[in-house]
Amino acid sequence: MRSENQCPVCGNNHLEKVFKVLDFRGSDEAFDLKRCTACSFILTSPRPQDAELGRYYPKSSYVSHNERPTGVFDRIYFQVQKANLRDKLNKIQLYSKKGFLLDYGCGSGSFLGFMQQNGWMVEGVELSKEAAEIASKRTNSSIWSPDEFVIQPNKYDVISLWHVLEHLPDFERVIDKLKASLKPGGILLIAVPNHKSYDAQFFGNKWAAWDVPIHLWHFNKEVINRLAKKWKMQFLETLPMPFDAFYVSMLSAQNQKSKGWFLKGAWIGLLSNFKAKRNKEASSLIYILKKGN
């Protein structure tokens, strides 16, 4: 096990404290964010051991694993999710028209189901047994648990990780497997929150996408660039996820206990998207990496 005080990206032993963040999902425990002084990677500290991580995941409010939205906020999220699915499809089809897709961390498979309806062959990996079962029924395709998943040599045209990498204790080992499972020239698509976005700067330690301690790692463009070199993959570009700016800003305004959280979140989300058009630092970024031929 790597030391808590070593950067897993570059191996540097000097980490500086950024600030304290509370677990707003319920435990109210405080965690530190620490930044590597060499490569700017940020990590959550202390990092819960694998066995303890589960208890920080709330059972019912984890929307992507929920089939039936309950609160008003969930219901809005559910509607937005439809538009979001279309947006994801369009973005993927910029690189690959049709083919074989693996979604790593596929939840209950709404994205896989949608891609399948649009002519893609699909498979998935999912940690939650309940979610995996729903995904498997929905797509009639293989949905593995992370432990079951072994390298599928040169099989997929596209592998996606939608807000998954930041949850994985052993993310580099997972990427190794995924890279080997991509066809030569295949695309790895990694979506993660971006703490260089306007909404992150605005909300500071109340920014919902810090999401400690279940977000173990906090990436940025420089870090992914460095990792892509290490993984021997080509960094093609980043794409914004405009819906996330609203979702994250609204949750952040709730973390601030702001009474007008909806309007405030909508406004900051709008500003964040507007600024990202210029500086390309959207609330969440999709990194497009390509495996060599």
Q: How far is the CB of 106 from Zn ion (least distance, A)?
A: 30
Three-state secondary structure readout of 274-290: HHHHHHCCCCEEEEEEE
The verdict on 18 binding Zn ion (CB under 5 A) reads: no
Sequence-separated (6 or more) residues with CB below 8 Å from residue 233: 179, 188, 289, 290, 291, 292
Q: Give, in order, the Cα–Cα distances in Å from 220 to each of 197, 278, 282.
A: 10, 17, 11
CB crowding 55-82: b at 16 or more within 10 Å, else e: ebeeeeeebbbbeeeeeebeeebbeebe
From 6, 12, 61, 93, residue interacting with Zn ion (rule: CB under 5 A): 12
The verdict on 36 binding Zn ion (CB under 5 A) reads: yes
Nearer to Zn ion, 12 or 254 (CB): 12
Nearer to Zn ion, 10 or 18 (CB): 10
End-to-end CA distance of the chain: 34
Nearer to Zn ion, 14 or 98 (CB): 14
Tell me the window of 10-18, 111-119, 134-142, 205-213 that interacts with Zn ion (CB under 5 A).
Answer: 10-18
The verdict on 7 binding Zn ion (CB under 5 A) reads: yes
CA distance 15 to 12: 8
Q: Contact at 8 Å (CB) between 228 and 190? A: no
From 22, 23, 27, 39, residue interacting with Zn ion (rule: CB under 5 A): 39
Nearer to Zn ion, 189 or 223 (CB): 223
Q: Contact at 8 Å (CB) between 121 and 269? A: no
Number of residues that bind Zn ion (CB under 5 A): 8
Tell me the window of 30-38, 45-53, 203-211, 282-290 that interacts with Zn ion (CB under 5 A).
Answer: 30-38
Tell me the window of 1-9, 245-253, 258-266, 268-276 that interacts with Zn ion (CB under 5 A).
Answer: 1-9
Q: How far is the CB of 7 from Zn ion (least distance, A)?
A: 3
Q: Contact at 8 Å (CB) between 266 and 216? A: no
Q: How far is the CB of 272 from Zn ion (least distance, A)?
A: 26
From 15, 33, 41, 284, residue interacting with Zn ion (rule: CB under 5 A): 41
Compute the 3-state secondary structure of the chain and give helix, strand, coil in percent, each to the nearest 5: 40, 25, 35
Q: How far is the CB of 162 from Zn ion (least distance, A)?
A: 25
Q: Contact at 8 Å (CB) between 48 and 56? A: yes
Tell me the window of 11-19, 66-74, 141-149, 157-165 that interacts with Zn ion (CB under 5 A).
Answer: 11-19
Nearer to Zn ion, 6 or 256 (CB): 6
From 18, 22, 38, 236, residue interacting with Zn ion (rule: CB under 5 A): 38
Q: How far is the CB of 157 from Zn ion (least distance, A)?
A: 32
Q: Give, in order, the Cα–Cα distances in Å from 238 to each of 93, 185, 273, 289.
A: 15, 17, 14, 9
Q: Give, in order, the Cα–Cα distances in Å from 123 to each of 41, 141, 213.
A: 31, 6, 29
The verdict on 10 binding Zn ion (CB under 5 A) reads: yes
Tell me the window of 12-20, 74-82, 128-136, 229-237 that interacts with Zn ion (CB under 5 A).
Answer: 12-20
Helix (H) or strand (E) holding 50: helix 50-53
The verdict on 161 binding Zn ion (CB under 5 A) reads: no
Contact set with Zn ion (CB under 5 A): 7, 9-10, 12, 36, 38-39, 41
